Amino acid sequence: MERLEVKVVEVRGRCPVYRPGDRIIIEGPEIKLDETDAVCTHAFASLLPYIVALRKGIKPSELGLGKGDKAYVQCLDPGPPYTDGGTVIFEITVVRDEAEKSVASGKGGNR
Which residue in 26, 53, 56, 50 sits closest to 39, CA to CA?
26
What are 58-111's pLDDT values in tens digits? 999 999 999 888 999 999 998 889 999 999 999 999 996 544 554 555 555 453
Give me the half-sphere count of Cα atoms (radius 13 Å) on the Cβ side of residue 109.
1
Query: If you compute the radius of gyration of the chain from its CA atoms, what whole number of angstroms results?
Result: 15
What are 94-104's pLDDT values in tens digits? 996 544 554 55
Amino acid at 71: A
Q: Output 67 or 45, whichever has higher pLDDT.
A: 45
Residues 10, 35: Cα–Cα separation, whole Å: 20
